[in-house]
Amino acid sequence: QLPGKKDLFIEADLMSPLDRIANVSILKHEVDKLYKVENRPSTSTSDQFCFLVRPRIKTMKYIADIVNADKMAGRSRKYKIIFSPQKVSLAAFSYQLLPSVPNVTCDEWSFYLLPLDDDIISMELPEFFRDYFLEGDHRWINSVARALQLLNSLYGPFSKAYGIGRCAKMSYELWRDLEEESEGDSQGRKPEIGNIFLMDRDTDYVTALCSQVVYEGLVDDTFRIKCGSVDFGPEVTSSDKSIKVLLNSQDKVFSQIRNEHFSSVFGFLSQKSRNLQAQYDRRRGMDIKQMKNFVSQELKGLKQEHRLLSLHIGACESIMKKKTKQDFQEMIKTEHSLLEGFDIRESTSFIEEHIDRQVSPIESLRLMCLLSITENGLIPKDYRSLKTQYLQSYGPEHLLTFHNLKRIGLLTEQSPGETLTAVESKVSKLVTDRAAGKITDAFNSLARKSNFRGISKKLGLIPRVDGEYDLKMPRDMAYVFSGAYVPLSCKIIEQVLERKSWLGLEEVVRLLNGNEFSVTESAVEDSPAWESQRIILAVFLGGCTFSEIAALRFLGKEKGYKFIFLTTAITNSARMLEAMIETKA
């Protein structure tokens, strides 16, 4: 609603999500030129500039520069800034940054939810992770609350809400607050989503740090899935072309292998290619009429399947090639030892060598973090020596990365005397969690103890193996990590849903640093429809991985639940750790 010709500036991060829902012809309505925010237009004759951006200070500066430059040059234009997902106290930002000119107006585009698949909704806010967990900034909580409000108005009230983590609690509270006031249309609606489960990413870093071995996770780790689609390069397509493929349940090949352990994918693909061949072979001995039918009805589908099949086979080959080069076997072995708490010395020297050989800066960090979280921090001697070697191998500026990792609690040093922690836990048992929160802050900024070993024991996260774990016929969620580890985040959800409360999990909750809740909506309690009770909205604040999605899909199949995922973004270990690295302004 900015009539007339205009130039449109779009923020880079909004482009992929936009591509999923619109195309240029929709956007280009009366738009003369499209620019990416960051590219300065050299000369533009347009009288109106429209900006579609995330509410960020950096972007505001960019816009302010353009407006100011025009002012200096004596050009007058109209400027419209559309914020997505919401306009945030703009008065505050613009007060400082924008010159007070009357021809700047603001609006918002309430784009909270991007459905990536039948059961995955993403908010496409990867920066949520760093902003909240590292910087302690609550700026996206309102967006989460609004997203919940939106889902609520579409699908009726949730009859039961569970959650764990400070951010989960705050998001829930703010959402309830918004809800009460709006007295929205959801009142009296039949609930379609029975349960909601909110979880902070920092409840479980371990799972996010593990190497993924289910197909979709591996594809994400290897090629990076962006907004539900992936770019397969020439090494996959075995031609000189790159192909962009949408990966979702409509891809008939992918939908059948996405949740499988990588080792069972090969068998499936070869079965599938044999079937395909058989179907083609039916052509022989067909008469004209049958042939006509075949061509008009089946051929197209078969061709499509053929293309998909050869793409996924190519992807598997490429993954195998990359993983063999990286000593994947040895790395997985080390990860499993860390999860189980065996051979810590040996694992430490594996990590050391990994660093010394400059294998990969992110992978080295990942292993160090995994060591730190599973061991409740590195012993000071190891911390110093690994850090020194890391800085020597990958660059001294990573001093800043280490500082960030320490603050967020991903890579910490055990304090020389553990006495402090003993006091800390005793105190936190005695006082309310608000006060405990303050005390913990006083002890050690935002970092928290992970207590992984204790939690793992309590919840039985390391399955006892008698004989070989059959990855083709998984018996529990551990299959997503080759049978070595049940993802903690998913286990918590399983346990709470089973008990319909946190009762009996007190010790686990204490080790997870509390902040759990479970609320039953009184209004809808009387007649919860059976159907809706099986549907659970799993909300991951700070990102969720494809391995977790696969594990919960498995749990759903076993127990008759249907999970829908709402996440601030799809994440994996590399994205999480890259978010900890400082870059130039």
Partner 1 sequence: LKESKRAVNSLRDIVDDDDDDLEKVSWSGEPVGSISWSIKETASSSASSLEGRDSSLQKGSSSYTAFPKQASSYSLSSLFKGRNRLPSFQSLSDALSDPGVKNYAPELRRPKAEYKDYSSDWSPKDTVRRMQRGKVCSLERFRSLQDKLVLLDEAVAGHDGNVITAVLIFLKRTLRKEILFRELEVRQVALCHLIHFLKETGEQKLLLDLLRFLDRTEEVALSQYREHLNIQDVEKRREFLKGCIGLPFSAEDTAHIQDHYTLLERQIIIEANDRHLETAGQSEIFRKYPRKASILNMPLVTTLFYSCFYHYTEAEGTFSSPSNLKKTFKIPDKQYVLTALAARAKLRAWNDVDALFTTKNWLGYTKKKAPIGFHRVVEILQRNNAPVQVLQDYVRLVEDVETRLNLATKYKCHDVVIDTYRDLKDRIQLAAYRCKVERGSAEEEKIDSILNNT
Of 459-498, which residues contact partner 1 (CB under 8 A)? none
Using the contact rule CB under 8 A, the part of the chain among 117-125, 363-371, 518-526, 550-558 near partner 1 is: 117-125
Minimum gap (Å) between residue 219 Cβ and partner 1: 15
The region that residue 156 occupies, defined by phi over 0 for left and psi between -120 and 50 for alpha, beta otherwise, is left
| 57 forms part of the interface with partner 1 (CB under 8 A) | yes
| 294 forms part of the interface with partner 1 (CB under 8 A) | no
Task: Report d(CA 199, CA 206) in Å as an integer.
Answer: 14
| 583 forms part of the interface with partner 1 (CB under 8 A) | yes
State which of positions 15-54 bind partner 1 (CB under 8 A).
Answer: 15-16, 18-28, 33-36, 39, 41-42
Among 6, 53, 55, 483, binds partner 1 (CB under 8 A): 55
Nearer to partner 1, 33 or 510 (CB): 33
Q: Going by C-beta distance under 8 Å and a sequence separation of 6 or more, which residues neighbour residue 272? A: 253, 256, 305, 309
Minimum gap (Å) between residue 420 Cβ and partner 1: 18
Exposure string of 392-409, with b = 16+ CB inside 10 Å and e = fewer, is: ebbeeebeebbebbbbbb
Task: Report d(CA 487, CA 388) in Å as an integer.
Answer: 32
Structure tokens at 254: 């992918």
How many residues are present in the chain?
Answer: 585
| 296 forms part of the interface with partner 1 (CB under 8 A) | no
| 137 forms part of the interface with partner 1 (CB under 8 A) | yes
Task: Report d(CA 37, CA 414) in Å as an integer.
Answer: 44
| 273 forms part of the interface with partner 1 (CB under 8 A) | yes
Structure tokens at 218: 């591996």
Among 189, 266, 414, 578, binds partner 1 (CB under 8 A): 266
CA dist 10 → 19, 63, 91 (Å): 12, 11, 22
| 569 forms part of the interface with partner 1 (CB under 8 A) | no
| 108 forms part of the interface with partner 1 (CB under 8 A) | yes
Residue among 237, 238, 240, 259 nearest 248 (CA): 259
Minimum gap (Å) between residue 482 Cβ and partner 1: 18
Q: With contacts defined by CB under 8 A, how many residues of the chain interact with partner 1? A: 130
Nearer to partner 1, 289 or 584 (CB): 584
Distance of alpha carbon 88 from the chain centroid: 24
| 92 forms part of the interface with partner 1 (CB under 8 A) | yes
| 274 forms part of the interface with partner 1 (CB under 8 A) | yes
| 95 forms part of the interface with partner 1 (CB under 8 A) | yes
Residue 341: phi, psi to the nearest 5?
A: 85, 25
Residue among 323, 325, 376, 372 nearest 348 (CA): 372
How far is it between the farthest Cα atoms of the chain?
86
| 435 forms part of the interface with partner 1 (CB under 8 A) | no
| 557 forms part of the interface with partner 1 (CB under 8 A) | no
State which of positions 188-207 bind partner 1 (CB under 8 A).
Answer: 192
Minimum gap (Å) between residue 31 Cβ and partner 1: 10
Structure tokens at 235: 């090494």
Minimum gap (Å) between residue 221 Cβ and partner 1: 19
Distance of alpha carbon 105 from the chain centroid: 33
Residue type, 542: G
CA dist 516 → 161, 198, 240, 519 (Å): 11, 10, 52, 10
Quick note: the x/- pattern for partner 1 over 61-90, rule CB under 8 A, is: x--------------------x---xxxxx
Minimum gap (Å) between residue 262 Cβ and partner 1: 11
Among 64, 68, 117, 328, binds partner 1 (CB under 8 A): 117
Nearer to partner 1, 314 or 487 (CB): 314
Structure tokens at 310: 């050869």
Strand partners, 541: 200
Quick note: the x/- pattern for partner 1 over 310-339, rule CB under 8 A, is: x--xx-xx--x-------------------
Nearer to partner 1, 285 or 522 (CB): 285
| 521 forms part of the interface with partner 1 (CB under 8 A) | no
CA dist 3 → 45, 75, 227 (Å): 16, 19, 31
State which of positions 393-412 bind partner 1 (CB under 8 A).
Answer: 393-397, 399-400, 403
The region that residue 542 occupies, defined by phi over 0 for left and psi between -120 and 50 for alpha, beta otherwise, is left
Contact 229, 245 (CB under 8 A): yes
| 161 forms part of the interface with partner 1 (CB under 8 A) | no
State which of positions 208-247 bind partner 1 (CB under 8 A).
Answer: 231, 240-246
| 139 forms part of the interface with partner 1 (CB under 8 A) | yes
Nearer to partner 1, 210 or 447 (CB): 447
State which of positions 356-375 bind partner 1 (CB under 8 A).
Answer: 356-358
Minimum gap (Å) between residue 340 Cβ and partner 1: 22
Minimum gap (Å) between residue 71 Cβ and partner 1: 21
The DSSP code sequence of 20-64 is: HH--HHHHTTTEEEEEETTSPPS----SEEEEEE-S-HHHHHHHH
